[in-house]
């Protein structure tokens, strides 16, 4: 597909900041297509015959970033699929890029992002949310040890990506500690200012 046919918004923020929650609302009200890199990796991990299942499983458990080739390919495939039914696609790419090499590769192979929504939340609140969700989510990384590792990766590896886009003036920073409704109201307001 041609980069002219798509608008890409990256959705970043720490583990449990509320990326998925806000993306679901944006899909419902603004017709975006939501692609969560983590969801795509978890689906690939479960796909019979996948050669990456074991690799993905161990990276996710340790909160590490799966080698970018895998994730970029999954995203490209999902975008191509979505464009079959919607020729001009508006995409929310959730939880990606979270390492600089991914950011560069996506920009070269797919297209640059129009803007980056950054959900800002402190670790205490994020940990509380994730441990609560872990009671029922079945996610292999919603436990205290994996959460600690995810936080470390976020600070060391993923925040530099946010800073990189901030220097380009693309980052819209949103306080993610408020209620989901309040965060969404703020998101809508800021997004409309930027995208129209
Ligand atoms: N909740 C949400 N918003 C709330 C609010 N405002 N107030 C109170 N509660 C709120 O929310 C988390 C929980 O908090 C939910 O229970 C929700 O109800 C509640 P959610 O919307 O799911 O937050 P989100 O930011 O999406 O959290 P998630 O756990 O999905 O974040 P991660 O970034 O850790 O997970 P992801 O799935 O993106 O990645 C998982 C792993 O995949 C990574 O650690 C990594 O190992 C791997 N990965 C890669 O290797 N490469 C990639 O490119 C992407 C992922
Ligand atoms: Mg998520």
What ipTM, to 2 d.p.? Answer: 0.99
What pLDDT is attached to residue 125? 98
pLDDT band at 29 (very low <50, low <70, confident <90, very high): confident
User: Looking at ligand 1, which residue's alpha carbon is closest to its atom 14?
Assistant: 129
pLDDT exceeds cutoff 90 at 195 = no
Q: What is the mean pLDDT of residues 143-147?
A: 98
pLDDT tier at 31, thresholds 50, 70, 90: confident
Cα–Cα distance, 98 to 152 (Å, whole number): 12
- Quick check: 119 and 95 in contact, CB under 8 A? no
- Tokens of residue 74, six digits: 């999954």
The whole-chain average pLDDT of the chain stands at: 96
Q: How many CB atoms lie within 10 A of CB 133?
A: 13
pLDDT surpassing 90 at residue 186: yes
For ligand 1, atom 32: residue with the closest CA: 15
Distance 18 CA to ligand 1 centre (A): 6
| Per-residue confidence (pLDDT) for residue 30, from 0 to 100 | 87
Give me the pLDDT at residue 137, please: 96
What pLDDT shows up at residue 27? 95
- Asked if pLDDT for residue 78 goes beyond 90, the answer is yes
CB distance 31 to ligand 1 below 6 Å: no
Rounded distance, CA 148 to CA 61, Å?
Answer: 11
């Amino acid at each position: 597909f041609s980069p002219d046919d798509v608008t890409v918004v990256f959705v970043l923020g720490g583990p449990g900041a509320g990326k998925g929650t806000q993306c679901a609302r944006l899909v419902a009200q603004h017709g975006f297509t939501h692609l969560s890199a983590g969801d795509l990796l978890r689906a690939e991990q479960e796909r019979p015959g996948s050669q990456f299942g074991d690799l993905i499983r161990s990276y996710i458990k340790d909160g590490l970033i799966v080698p970018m080739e895998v994730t970029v390919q999954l995203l490209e495939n999902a975008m191509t699929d979505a464009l079959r039914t919607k020729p001009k696609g508006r995409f929310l790419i959730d939880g990606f890029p979270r390492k600089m090499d991914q950011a560069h590769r996506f920009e070269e192979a797919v297209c640059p992002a129009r803007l980056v929504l950054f959900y800002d939340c402190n670790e205490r609140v994020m940990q509380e949310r994730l441990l609560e969700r872990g009671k029922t989510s079945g996610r292999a990384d919603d436990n205290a040890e994996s959460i600690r590792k995810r936080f470390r990766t976020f600070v060391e590896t993923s925040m530099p990506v946010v800073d990189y886009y901030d220097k380009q003036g693309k980052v819209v920073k949103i306080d993610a500690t408020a209620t989901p409704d309040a965060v969404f109201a703020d998101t809508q307001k800021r997004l409309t200012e930027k995208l129209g």
